Structure formats: structure tokens, C-alpha cells
Amino acid sequence: MKRKFTFGLRYIKKGMISKLNEIIESIMKKNFKFNTDVKILVITDDSTKRLGTTFFNSLKELGWDSELNIMSDRKKSGEEPTPEIAKNILKYKIVFCLTRHSLTHTVARKKANEKGISFITMPGITEDMFINGAINANYEKVEEKTLKMSEKLTNHTKIIIKTKDNKLTIPIGDRISLSSTGVFHKLGDSGNLPSGEAYVAPLEYQANGDIEINGSISGIGLLNSPIKLTIEKGRLIAATGVKGDELLKILGDGEGRILAEFGIGTNFAARITGNILEDEKANNTIHIAFGSNHTFGGVVKTDVHIDCVTQSPQLEWIV
């Protein structure tokens, strides 16, 4: 079959396009366990439109009924897409979001799920992540480990995270953990690609203590040196260093500083590169997030959700 590539693809090498096509075809066959012969929407933005357009054209070439929407960059993760795109989403059955910032924790995603639409978010995805990263993991193993870790989270009421001399206590109560396995069994299932994490919305306004963040922060990137976060009554009140100041600025002074998530990475193929999409999935990492969590069991509704990744923590599980 003769290949035709349209706008935006002249910047990507032909060999890489061929490899991306193979990976995209594999994703559609292996990660989706339901009939994908449905209308697909690809959402991308100014920063990511080169790869987003490549993804869209690959789907078209491989025979999927697909459409492409391009929007301006959102300012931060958790910010809603444009009203026009939010409305358009509801016309499709599978939505892929190749964007700079995450659309996972948005009302648009929640409404899509309620209507049985699968909403697959790929914030910050790069060509490198497609070729070399966690997206190429054995997702049967990722799914198995993620489900086990999710069950363990659900069956405990409190997590204590120890990093060097720091200790952060996070009450979970009877909140139900969620699994982002990267495997989608039915329409309406959603999550990241690449994936591999078990996560939960902790009880708001109850976490206390300090934690060292030594991996990366969404919107900031890889940390050259660790920063310490201090949390009182579930609210971030202090963060050390220049990167800490930057984090506080992104979160603002309102509910963006509320501890919103605790998650555990379960993907052995994931790397720590400074890209939160892959970093938070890496095995032997945990992440906490601040801001919105109303879309996955919490009560905080704001326009920001920022993840902070830590490698090699010690965890104490309280039943």
C-alpha cells in the first residue's frame, strides 16, 4: 500500500514514521480488547501537533475512521480543552489526546466516560517515548502488577512515605484505588498511554509531614537536586529551592495546593526522563499530586493537577 503523509509530517524522518506506524498498529491490536471499528478523535495542540498529526495519519492509513482537532496549548495540566472541542468529543467513541498538558483530570474527560467514550491521554508524548519508552512494555505484566497494587491500596487506610529523614502520612480511609493499566477492555475505559500506575484520592485536609521529591514534577521537568515539600492538614505550605518556588507558583494560593493523589508506578519499562507521563509509571517510584481530584473519587475541583515523582521511597502500609 502506498503511504501518504499530510501536513506537519515533513519534519519527522521517514524511518521514524514507519516505526511509529508499527507501534501504533500494535497499540490498537494489543492494548484495546474491544472492537475498535468506531469513530476516533485525535486531539493535539500547538506544541504537540507534529506528533499528533503523525498519529492521526497513521490511524487513517491503517483504516480507522479518524478526525483531528488542534487547539492552543493549555496553560497547565488539568485545564479544560476549548468548549468547541469539549462538545466535539461527545461525537466519538475513542479519543486520543496527544497534548502538552494533561486532560486526564478534566470535566471533559469525566463527561466522555459517563457516555461510554474511551478517553486516552498522552500528555507530553514524544517520538522517543514511542520508540524507546514505556509504551512498548509487556502490558499483560503491567496490568497484573497494577491490579495487585491497586487492591493493596484499597485494602489499607493509611500510607506512610519515608524519604531520608522525612516522613509523610497520607490517610486513605475507605477510598477506592484506581488502576491505569494501559489495557482497555471495553468502551468507556480510559487512562494514560504509556501507562502503569495504581492511584487513589487521599482523604482531603488530613495528610501531614514532609517528603523529598527527587524525580520530576509535571510542568517543571527533571530535578537536578531534590526538593522538600511540607504538608499540613492536607495542604502544601512550603517547598524548598528554586524548583519548589516554581511549583508553588504553578499551584497558586488556592485549592491547587491541596494534596489530591497518591500513586505507585508499576511499569518496568518506564524511565525517569523528566516527562511526567512516563516518569510516574516507572517501577519503584511513587508520586503525589496537588490540585483537582474530583474526577477520580475526591472532592477538590480546580483547574490544576500537578504530579511530583519520587524514586526509591520506603512505604509503610497501615490497615
Average pLDDT in the 198-223 region? Answer: 97
Q: Which CATH code, of 3.30.360.10, 3.30.70.3400, 1.20.1260.10, 3.40.50.2300, is assigned to 9-134?
A: 3.40.50.2300
For residue 318, give Cα distances in angstroms to 151, 156, 168, 170, 310: 14, 6, 13, 10, 20
Q: In the chain, which segments carry CATH 3.40.50.2300?
A: 9-134
pLDDT at 2 over 80: no
Burial class (CB in 10 A: 0-12, 13-18, 19+), 49: buried
* Rounded CA separation 235/205 (Å): 6
Strand 66-71 vs strand 118-121: parallel, antiparallel, or unpaired?
A: unpaired
Where does the pLDDT of residue 3 fall: very low under 50, low under 70, confident under 90, or very high at 90 and above? very low
The CA-based diameter of the chain, rounded to the nearest angstrom, is 60
Confidence (pLDDT) at 12 = 55
pLDDT of residue 10: 42
**Taking the C-alpha atoms of 248, 124, 187 and 71 in order, what is their torsion angle to the nearest 10 degrees?**
90
205 Cβ neighbours under 8 A, 6+ residues apart:
233, 234, 235, 258
Structural element, H or E, at residue 52: helix 49-61
Is the pLDDT assigned to residue 4 strictly greater than 50?
no
Q: Residue-wise over 294-309: b if at least 16 C-beta within 10 A, else e?
A: ebbebebebbbbbbbb
Neighbours of 28 (CB within 10 A): 17
| Amino acid 289: pLDDT | 98
**And the C-alpha cell for 72?**
492552543
DSSP state of 85: H
Q: What is the mean pLDDT of the chain?
A: 93
